[in-house]
Amino acid sequence: MRHSNSSGCAKQLDNTLCYVALGSNLGDSISYLNKAIQALGDHPDITQLSVSKFYKSKPHGPQDQPDYINAAVKFKTSLSPEALLDVLQEIENNNQRVRQGVVRWGARTLDLDLLFYADKVIETKRLSVPHPRICERLFVLLPLQDLGAGLKRLGKGTIKDCIHALSEKALNDIKEIADDDKSSHRKNTS
């Protein structure tokens, strides 16, 4: 059964566990990630927010762009998948995300990708969940592992299996960012 909140977002009755990847490589990337984390934590339909470590990684796709700062969050929400996607895109837009005429996998101020919506498989025009390229991206896998999702099942095995399958070069292209290099938002909110 669905309900609508005051903002018109479709809501589910239960609280669904979700995982979202965050990335940025333009401007003050750490600040953009922290603003996104704060916006998610402040949203009335999102609870129990947990944040992974932050990682610096080489760009995926065109190499003539700055390195990325990546993280992931997990939380519970009463929003439907499409309504959650709307919230994520609103947060991106509020942080100067540009979509028109952008090179695929190009530089961006903020990118928020819905990775998992409970254990549901969703294929719509706007949304593919689980995210189809999770197992190819160490900058997504390591933050997921930080959040305790290492045993989460994918078509190619678990998150841990996918990490072990990546090449040594991929493992060398990503580094954890020390706490003193960023403002830490690794707290839980309810």
Cα(66)–Cα(165) distance, integer angstroms: 26
Query: Is 104 designated active site?
Result: no
Catalytic annotation, pick one of 113, 137, 173, 181: 113
Cβ–Cβ < 8 Å for 57, 13: no
Query: Is 97 designated active site?
Result: yes
Query: Is 113 designated active site?
Result: yes
Catalytic annotation, pick one of 108, 137, 180, 181: 108
Query: Is 108 designated active site?
Result: yes
Catalytic annotation, pick one of 97, 99, 119, 161: 97
Catalytic annotation, pick one of 45, 111, 137, 146: 111
Active site residues: 97, 108, 111, 113
